[in-house]
Structure 1
Amino acid sequence: MTKKKILIVEDEESLLKLESILLTSRGYEVVGATDGVAALEQVGLTRPDLVILDIMLPEIDGFEVCRRIKQNPETAHTPVVMLTAKKSEQDCARGMAAGASAYVTKPFKSAKIIEIIQDLLSP
């Protein structure tokens, strides 16, 4: 069975490393990006099975990255999990309106993220 590939988009290096370790230890292949432009490039190049997306990013914010992923017919099926410090109901509504499959606020519990990922990637 091939490993599921997850793109983590996080501009904070320490969090990107932490999330990468968490997911690789669970058997996922992980690709990272630190800004919105790089995220969209990686989606096109690596065709991840799932994207974990921060909202507050340099260049293009997570809402716009999610919208662009969902507007592209080749990537529209890719689940996007927004993982962010933005906790307001308006932000959550914006994330879901942009096409996010799930919206999780920081700080987060590792078990919750793993559960969401497994649910979204199960056939």
Structure 2
Amino acid sequence: MHKNKILVVEDEESLLKLESILLSSKGYNVTGVMDGRSALEEIAANPPDLVILDIMLPELDGFEVCRHIKEDPATKGIPVVMLTAKKNSQDYARGMEMGADAYITKPFKSAKVIETIEGLLNK
């Protein structure tokens, strides 16, 4: 069985570990990076099946990373789930404008994240 590859982009180490453990326990092959530039490098070198993306990141923020993913013909089909503490409607609208496939706010419920991922991967 093919294990879906998920790239988790999160600058807070404890959350990166938590998200990685959660996804690994559900059978996903998880890679984690802690900044936007590393995310784009990892996507170019080893394209994932889905990206979980924080917005507040060092160097390039999540909005910029999402825009890069969605503007590149080679990666535009990769679903992007924004997982962020930014809860206001302008941030949500900007995430959707940049091409995010889903927008989940922290603190998040694990079941909601898994349900969203499964929905996007099984399209």
Cα deviation digits, residues 5-43 of structure 1 (max 9, x gap): 000000000000000000000000001110000000011
Shift of 1:45: 1.1
Q: With the length of structure 1 as denominator, give the TM-score of the two structures.
A: 0.99
Distance in structure 2 (CA, Å) of the matches to 1:112 and 1:10: 18
Other-structure match for 1:120:
120
Distance (whole Å) between structure 2 residues aligned to residue 107 and residue 46 of structure 1:
29
- The corresponding residue for 1:35 is 35
Structure 1 segments (4+ residues) deviating >4 Å: none
Q: How far, CA to CA, are the matches of 1:45 and 1:16 in structure 2?
A: 20
- Say if 2:54 is the partner of 1:51: no
SS at match of 1:11: coil
SS for the counterpart of 1:18 is helix
Q: Does 1:98 align with 2:81?
A: no
CA positional deviation for 1:3: 0.3
Aligned-residue CA RMSD (Å): 0.5
Q: Alignment length, in residue pairs?
A: 123
Indicate the SS of the match to 2:59. coil
Aligned-pair CA distance for 1:46: 1.2
Unaligned runs of 5+ in 2: none
Q: Give TM-score, length-normalised by structure 2.
A: 0.99
Q: How far apart are the structure 1 equivalents of 2:57 and 2:79?
A: 19
Percent of aligned positions that are identical: 69
Counterpart Cα distance in 1 of 2:15 and 2:58: 15
